[in-house]
Copies of this chain bind each other. A is one copy, B any other.
C-alpha cells in the first residue's frame, strides 16, 4: 500500500479537497429514517439511524468527494451499538474507495496511546476502526504522540495533530505567547519536525495538522510554517469559513489541504423534507466545485 500522504494526494488530485464530515445528530435526521427505527431500544435506535443515514450520505457524496471524516463522539453517544455502527460505517467508506479520517482527537501516554493507535490502525489481533488517518491531541507532549506515529508508519496510515482549532474559544491556551510565539506555532513546529521523516513521493508527509478555516490569517501563516504538512481544515461552511478563506491552506501545486464540511453538506434539509437526498447531492456538488484549487 502506498504511504498515506501519497494516497491522500492521489485522492485530492482526482476528487478535489472536499472532506465530508459524518456527524449524525438525531434531531436533524430525515424523519423517515427516525420512523424506521422507532421500535428499537434507545441506543440501538440512535446507532441504527446513524448507520443508515451515514451509509446513504456516503453514496450520495461519492461523486463529489474523496475523503470522509466520521466523528467518533456521536457514535460513542449511542453506546456500544453506536461503536458497532461506526465500525461498519468505516468499512463501508473504505469499500466505496474513500480515504477515511476518524475524528476522535485521541491522546494519552505510552502504552495507552499505543492502544488507541492500534484500535485506529492495526490489523492485529483484528482491525477495529481501520482508519486511514486519526486526529490526535498534542497536549500530553512528545512521548504521547510518538506511539501514534509509530503505529501509523507500521500500517501505512497518517495522523492529524490539533494545531489551531476552529472554535471561538480556541485561543484560551492555543494563542498564549510562549518564548515569543503563540503556543499553536510551537505545536506546528513539532508537527513539521515529526512530519519531515515521513515525506512521500508527493512531497508531503503522513503527519498532518488540524488548522481551522475560521482564522484565515493563521491558516496562511501555518501553511507557510509547515510547507510539507497536510492540513485538515475544519470550519468551512456552517462554522463561517468561506472557500476563499480555506484556499489559503493550499500549496501552489493545489495539494496540501483537505477541507471538511459536516453540517453544510450532510444537513442542508429539514427533517421532514422528502427531497433530502437531492439536497445532500447538490450541497456536495456545490462545495466540491467551490473548493477546487
Question: Once the chains bind, are A141 and B112 in contact (CB under 8 Å)?
Answer: no
Q: Report the contact-size class of chain A (Cβ under 8 Å from the partner).
A: 35 or more
CB distance from A184 to the nearest CB of B (A): 10
Question: Once the chains bind, are B169 and A128 in contact (CB under 8 Å)?
Answer: no
Question: Once the chains bind, are B73 and A113 in contact (CB under 8 Å)?
Answer: yes
Known contacts A142-B169, A187-B173: A23-B112 contact under CB 8 Å: yes
Known contacts A80-B87, A87-B79, A137-B137: A73-B115 contact under CB 8 Å: yes
Binary flags per residue of A95-124, CB closer than 8 Å to B gives 1, else 0: 000000000011111111101101100000
Question: Once the chains bind, are B116 and A73 in contact (CB under 8 Å)?
Answer: yes
Picked from B41, B73, B173, the residue with its CB within 8 Å of the CB of A186 is: B173
Query: Is A282 part of the contact surface with B, judged by Cβ < 8 Å?
Result: no
Question: Once the chains bind, are B107 and A77 in contact (CB under 8 Å)?
Answer: no
Query: Is A167 part of the contact surface with B, judged by Cβ < 8 Å?
Result: yes
Query: Is A171 part of the contact surface with B, judged by Cβ < 8 Å?
Result: yes
A106 CA to B183 CA, complexed, in Å: 20
Question: Once the chains bind, are A80 and B80 in contact (CB under 8 Å)?
Answer: yes
Query: Is A168 part of the contact surface with B, judged by Cβ < 8 Å?
Result: yes
A166 CA to B144 CA, complexed, in Å: 11
Binary flags per residue of A228-244, CB closer than 8 Å to B gives 1, else 0: 00000000000000000
Question: Once the chains bind, are A73 and B108 in contact (CB under 8 Å)?
Answer: yes
3 closest A-B pairs by beta carbon, nearest first, are A143-B169, A42-B125, A142-B169
Q: What would 30 A/B residue contacts be, using CB atoms closer than 8 Å?
A: A23-B112, A43-B126, A46-B125, A73-B112, A74-B112, A76-B116, A76-B128, A77-B115, A77-B116, A78-B128, A79-B87, A79-B119, A80-B83, A105-B140, A109-B165, A109-B167, A137-B140, A138-B173, A139-B165, A139-B174, A140-B162, A140-B165, A140-B169, A140-B170, A143-B168, A144-B165, A144-B169, A144-B170, A176-B183, A183-B183
